[in-house]
Amino acid sequence: MKIVHTADWHIGQTFYEYDRKLEHLQFLSWLQTVIKQEDVDLLLIAGDLFDSPNPAAEAQKVYYRFLREVTAANKNLQIIIIAGNHDSAARLEAPSPLLEEMNISIRGVIKRTETGEIDWNNLIIPLTKGGYCLAVPYLRQGDYPTAETYAEGVQKMYTTLFEALPDQQQPIIAMGHLQATGSEISENDRSERTIIGGIEAISPEAFNPAIAYTALGHLHRAQRVSGREHIRYSGAPLPMSFAERNNKQGITIVEITEKGTDIEQRIFDTPVKLLSIPRTPQPLESVLEAIEQLPEGAIDQTSPYLEIKVLITEPEPSLRHQIEHALQNKAVRLARITSTAAQQMENESVITYEALQTINPLEMATAIFKRKYSGNEMPEEMSKLLLHVIQGLEK
């Protein structure tokens, strides 16, 4: 059985107000080619298909056109999709009756039986080539079995699902949209900020060792989890922020045979590059010199996105005007200008609005508590209560 694992498409995202439709179309065209050339049996999409729970009509058209084209070109292809924290679970599942005719299964909402129990069977999807997929979408408060913490509830979810399998000897695949312990987040990246706080990270022990492969979404950097080869994030196909500009974007190809599981990371050459100049904040004069070295030409939809970092030594009201003037005739698209005061460079970077978004509420509260109460740690019971409130707000 040959599998393609992908996630975090974020269709409909605008990059600092620039439309990314062309980039998504090129990725999906490339993905179709890989699926055809590799004769793929199963396509796993592990959440965050859209950038917003209420995607624009054009974004939905891109998504559904891909599903129609890829299934038409690959008659035996099975597709399993789970919702991510950016997706509307109900909206994603709505067309299921139609898509199931195309061998496409979508899981977003955790359904329950008449007695109020989780419908475990709904989350176990038989695979066309034999075996089963534990298709668990992003779990919100109340979606998982009763437990003291979010992490414990999610782990209990996977454990119970595995025990409910009708045959544990066949190939088992697991899917999830979560943050696993031992995984790496791009530095200062609010686009993949931890969902609730470090306390909600899921241990890889949640996935039974008998599971042949675990396909995860949420983190945008392709990686193994805690050194486990068969538990992986595929990464996002496009960089979602400048913090991700050095990530290797692409998909994961998995082949399960009687001899074992082979895994390959396939790189997608993103059509639009991200540039940051200078590499560290520099005075305006140095910035203008760096801009002078940029290539000249007309701007189009493939022109790189540009981030400029300026070190401020004194007030400069015309800063943006000078930069925009210097960029005339340069074949780049200005995305943002960040400015840092010289005296703050000696200690720490300026906390911009974007940097503020990377701070999760639980960490902020525990830091304030520790500072206010002479270095004492916040009591565990108080942390749990606060986490409960945060989960309720993010639901």
Which numeric CATH code is attached to 2-267? 3.60.21.10
Phi, psi of 267 (to 5 degrees): -85, 135
Q: Quick one: pLDDT band at residue 80, thresholds 50, 70, 90?
A: very high
Q: Which of 207, 252, 240, 245 is nearest to 226 (CA)?
A: 207
Burial class, 292, CB count within 10 angstroms (exposed 0-12 / middle 13-18 / buried 19+):
exposed
Angle value at C-alpha 132, between 127 and 136, nearest 5 degrees: 110
Between the alpha carbon of residue 47 and those of residues 68, 235, 339, 383, the distances in Å are 19, 11, 35, 29
Note the pLDDT tens digit of each residue in 49-63.
Answer: 999 999 999 999 999
- What is the secondary structure of 235-282 as a DSSP string? --SS--SGGGTTS--EEEEEEEETTEEEEEEEE---SS-EEEEEEEEE
Average pLDDT value over all residues in the chain: 88
Q: Are strands 18-19 and 14-15 parallel, antiparallel or unpaired?
A: antiparallel
Dist CA 354 CA 188 (whole Å): 8
Token digits of residue 15: 């990059």
CB 62 within 8 A of CB 25: yes
Residue 61 neighbours by CB under 8 Å, 6+ apart: none
pLDDT bucket at 186, cuts 50 / 70 / 90:
low
What the block records as the tokens of 384 is 């749990």
Asked if residue 346 has pLDDT above 80, the reply is: no
* pLDDT tens column, 254-279: 999 988 889 999 999 999 999 999 98
Mean pLDDT confidence for 205-230 = 93
Question: What's the pLDDT at 300?
Answer: 93
